[in-house]
Structure 1
Amino acid sequence: MPHLRFRAVEFDTVKSLSTALVDDLQPLMACPREDFTIEHISTTFIFDGDVSDAYPFVEVFWFDRGQDVQDQVARKVTDAVRLALEEPEQDVAVIFTALKPHAYYDNGEHY
C-alpha cells in the first residue's frame, strides 16, 4: 500500500518510470518502499461506438495523507508520466481513492 494503477500508458513506459516515481513518492507517503504496488492495466477506450485514444489515467489507492500530500503526489505522478512520454503538456488524470485501514486486510488482519 499504496497501489498505483496506470491506464492508457504503455507497459514499457510504466516499467521505466516506476523506480524514479517510487523514489519520489516514498518520502512523501512515509511508508516502506516495498509497500508500493504499481500496476499496468491494458485498456481499450470507446467513444460513440468506436475505439478512441485516451490520455493517461492513474488511480492511486491509499490511506489518506491529507490534501497537501495528495496535491504533491498528484504533481509527482503527472510529472513522471509527462517525462516518460516526453510530452511536457500531456493531459494526465490522477484519481485518488482513500481506503479505510479497518477495511484493508493483509493476511487476514486489518490495519
Structure 2
Amino acid sequence: MPHLYFRGLSVERVQAMSGSLEAELSVIIGCEPSDLMLEVIHTTCVSGGRIAPSYPFVEIAWFERGREVRDAVARCLDRLIRDGGVPEVEVAFRGYRPSDYYANGEPFGVDPAEAELEALRADNAKLKEDLARARKAAAAATAGSMSTRLRDALRE
C-alpha cells in the first residue's frame, strides 16, 4: 500500500522509471519503497469501431494523506512519465479508510468517525444516568421539605 495502477503505458516504460519513482514517492508519502505496489494494467481501448491507443492514466489507491501529499505525488508521476517522452498523463486518487481495508481478514484500523461516535454515545449514556440520579435526589430532597400546598401548586 499504496497501489499504483498504470494504464496506457508500456511495462518497459514503467519498469524504466520504477527505481526513481519508488525512491521519490517513498520520501513524499513517508513509506518504504517496498510498500509501493506498481502494476501495469493491460487494456484495449476502442474508439470509432477501431482499436486505439490507450490514454496514459495512473490511479493511486491508498489511505488518504492530504492535499499536499496528493499534489506532490501527482507532480512526481507527471514529471517522471512525461520526461520519458509521454506528452500528457492523468493521475487520479482513490482513498481507502483503514477500517475498510483488510489484510488476512483483519482491518488495518478503526474508522475515526466510528470511534468518535461510540465515545459520544458512551458520554451520552453517562450523562443520562447522572441526570436521572440528580432528578431523583432533587425529588427526594424537595419532597420532604415542601408543603403539600406548594407541591400541588407546582404540579399545576
Calculate the TM-score normalised by the size of structure 2: 0.66
User: Which ranges in structure 2 are unaligned for 5 or more consecutive residues?
Assistant: 109-156
Q: Equivalent pairs: percent with the same residue? A: 38
User: Whole-Å Cα distance in 1 between the matches of residues 107 and 58 of structure 2?
Assistant: 25
Q: 2:101 aligns with which of 98, 101, 104?
A: 104
As a proportion of its length, which structure holds more helix? Answer: 2
Q: Secondary structure at the match of 1:75?
A: helix
Partner of 1:94: 91
Deviation at 1:82, TM superposition (A): 1.0
How many Å apart are 1:9 and its aligned residue?
Answer: 0.4
Report the TM-score when normalising by structure 1. 0.91
The aligned amino acid for 2:94 is T
Highest RCO, 1 vs 2 (Cα 8 Å, sep ≥ 6) = 1
Distance 2:83 2:48 in 1: 31
Q: CA RMSD in A?
A: 1.1
Q: CA deviation at 1:54?
A: 3.0
Q: Considering only CA atoms, is the larger Rg found in Structure 1 or Structure 2?
A: 2
CA deviation profile, 1:66-93 (whole Å, cap 9, x unmatched): 1111011001011111122x24xx1101
User: Per residue, is there more strand in 1 or in 2?
Assistant: 1
* Whole-Å separation in 2 of the counterparts to 1:38 and 1:53: 21
* Superposed structure 1 runs of 4+ greater than 4 Å apart: none
Equivalent in the alignment of 1:10: 10
Query: 1:59-70, aligned counterparts within 5 Å?
Result: 59-70=59-70
1:36 paired with 2:36, answer yes
Partner of 2:124: none
